[in-house]
Amino acid sequence: MSSGRPTVVLVDDHRMFRTGVRAEIGELVDVLGEAEDVDTAVAAIVELQPDVVLLDVHLPGGNGPEVIRRVGDQAPNTYYLALSVSDAAEDVIATIRAGARGYVTKSISGQELADAVVRVAGGDAVFSPRLAGFVLDAFAGSVEIAEVDEELDRLSPRERDVMRLIARGYTYREAASELFLSIKTIETHVSNVLRKLQLSNRNELARWASDRRIV
Amino acid sequence: MTAPNAPAPEVAQLRRASSGRVLGGVARGIANHLGIPVIWVRLGFVGLTLISGAGVLGYAILWALVPLDDATVPDADSKTSTGGPSSERAILLVLGASGVLLGLLLLATLAGLDLRGFVPLALAGAGAALIWLRADEDHRERLRSGVGRVAPQRAGILQVVLGVGLVLVGLIAFGVGGVGFTQAGTLLVAVAVVVVGIALVVSPFALRLWRERDDERRARIRSEERAEIAAQVHDSVLQSLALIQKNASDAGAVSRIARAQERDLRRWLYPASGLSSSSVRKALEDMAAEVEDTYGVRVDVVCVGDAKTSERTTPLLHAAREALSNAARHSGANIVSVYAEMDDRSLTVHVRDRGRGFDLATVPPDRMGVRESILGRLERHGGTARLSSDPGEGTRIELVMETR
């Protein structure tokens, strides 16, 4: 996003929804193109090289994680933000583990969505309250057994505090002032949590995921 | 790496052909499967038959085991009727083959070979072939006509009767002429002969019954699933859409109906695993739904962990409900967030809105809501409640209860 507004490709199989999102955030970001299924999405992303892909989780011919995998390193500077109507844990976690930098639901307001796009374009992570709740659930109870766990497999007390506030509906700014931290520090914590969510092979996470039929 | 677009080549299952067949469609099916001219397959079967009849045996086994290619049935041969043998043709075919066989046997006998024991077996085999052909033809016709039973035709009945007769004659001839019942210990042979006879006659029908039952079961499961989905859509989505059309001018009502419908559908599509009626999570979600329906605001609930409701959690849930409806009624915010964290030791619930907020000091002392129903209630039961609210910033309420 060297030239101000981040560039975006919209991937969703409902044209009405794409039109709506374009109208809501079109003033704040540059929408380069749209796609409606896995194949057109991969082609559009590789061709347009956007800063951010707004990615629906369920698509004809596959799903969001598949788009991320198929583009692979053909769009090295592109970040993904999942935008879905699904609140199901398996969808959320599968998309994050495929490499998305965040997950928001379609009920988000236009302003919030534009903020989220800017944040993701800058390399930060975006957590909806529900995603933060999933994270706390998945990493539950790891504080007491800290000494046996790898660093990747648990949340630090600070990260846990940040996740709690986000789960309660706080913005990054509100969380920063509540915890007497800078916004930059909050962003670092959130990015670390995202990395752990993507890389951890913690037993708890695996079991929690299998309970909810996540691969 | 370009898009691996092409679908993986479908591994075709070997199926008996429905059109372009002479008997059971086995040779045509194999030819189609391997992509070679059918004449080679047929010659192969004939050639194998010269080796102690292995070709006939192999054909019979494949006939029994390889399913019919039902996909090509309806359009392939019902109209053009170039396909399978009718009953008359089948009878002629088998009788003709038997005649040729008998002629060959006669020749062989004339040439000095003793093949008398073989004749009855050939007769029984021809009879069995007739019955199998008939059973197979019934199956085809059922597929062709879609569903239900096909009225038996006279030629079909004749074919089965003829088949049973041939089997009987063959077996009796085998028993009397070939081995002879007079010899000691041949009772066993007789029994075996009868059993084989019955098996030959009955097995095609038994096999068909078994296959049908399987197909019917699958179809029933499919239609039950469909009916359930249709019922769900009808009871919920269609009703809501009708309500929305009726209330199209009332934006508040429309969004309330849509929200309630969304919640309902979500619960059906993504059922939370193992949520019992006595779970705190469920209680909170029900409470949120009720407030949404009553006040038309959106309530987002995020839960971490779960716990069973008990006399320790009930006061907190009551206080939470009060906090929630206060927020919905007075704050002016259109979203209220509920966050709950629980394990087997404690339960914490946060309720927050971004509405207009208030100053607790200015609330008149006779107002029961906040002081009594929320703060007082929790403290009486040994929990803690904290409230912070700034005018213009919204209200945050934290409720904590040790649960053991």
Measured between beta carbons, the chain A residues lying within 8 angstroms of B302 are 129-130, 132-133, 167-168
B-interface mutation test, from A168, A177, A208, most B Cβ less than 10 A away? A168
| Residue of B259, B300, B338 to mutate for A, most A C-beta atoms under 10 A | B300
Q: How far apart are CA B163 and CA B95, in angstroms?
A: 10
* Residue A43 amino acid letter: A
Written as one letter, the residue type at A196 is K
- Tens of pLDDT, residues A159-174: 989 999 999 888 888 8
The confidence score (pLDDT) of residue A45 equals 93
Among A88, A30, A32, A47, CA closest to A64? A88
Between chain A and chain B, the number of residue pairs with CB atoms below 8 A apart is 48
Using a CB–CB cutoff of 8 Å, tell me whether A135 touches chain B: no
B131-147 pLDDT, tens digit each:
777 777 776 766 666 55
Interface check A42 vs B, CB under 8 A: yes
Which of A 4-33 lie inside 8 A of B, CB atoms?
none
CA distance B223 to B284: 36
Give the bridge partners for B299, in sequence order. Answer: B336
Residue A58 contacts B, CB cutoff 8 Å: no
Q: In this complex, do B302 and A133 lie within 8 Å of one another by their Cβ atoms?
A: yes
Please give the structure tokens belonging to residue B58.
Answer: 């192999």
Do B340 and B347 meet the contact criterion of CB atoms below 8 Å apart? yes
Instruction: Please indicate whether, in this complex, the C-beta atoms of A137 and B305 are within 8 angstroms of each other.
Output: yes
φ, ψ of residue B152 to 5 degrees: the values are -65, 135
Q: Test A129 with B337 for CB contact under 8 angstroms.
A: yes
Residues A164, B266: C-beta atoms closer than 8 Å: no
Phi, psi (rounded to 5 degrees) for B59: -60, -45
At B88 the pLDDT is: 65
What digits encode the pLDDT tens for the residues A90-124? Answer: 777 888 888 899 998 877 888 889 989 998 998 88
Contacts of A107 in chain B (CB under 8 A): 298
Average pLDDT of the segment spanning A12-39: 88
B300 chain-A contacts, CB cut-off 8 A:
129-130, 169
Smallest CA-to-CA distance from B87 within B28, B138, B142 is with: B138
Per residue in B325-376, pLDDT tens? 888 888 888 889 999 998 878 899 999 988 888 777 776 665 556 777 788 8
Average pLDDT over residues B373-382: 85
Q: How far apart are CA A20 and CA B385, in angstroms?
A: 42
Least confident of A64-68, A146-150, B80-84, B267-271: B80-84
Contact A168 B300 (CB under 8 A): no
CA–CA separation, B153 and B134 (whole Å): 11
pTM of the model: 0.60
Using CB atoms within 10 Å of the CB of residue B195, give its burial: 0 to 12 exposed, 13 to 18 middle, 19+ buried.
exposed
Which residues in chain A touch residue B1, judged by CB atoms under 8 angstroms apart? 72
Q: Using one digit for the tens of pLDDT, what is the confidence trace for B164-192?
A: 777 777 777 766 665 544 554 566 666 66
ipTM above 0.90, yes or no: no
Question: Can you point out the beta strands (E) in B256-364?
Answer: 298-304, 335-342, 346-353
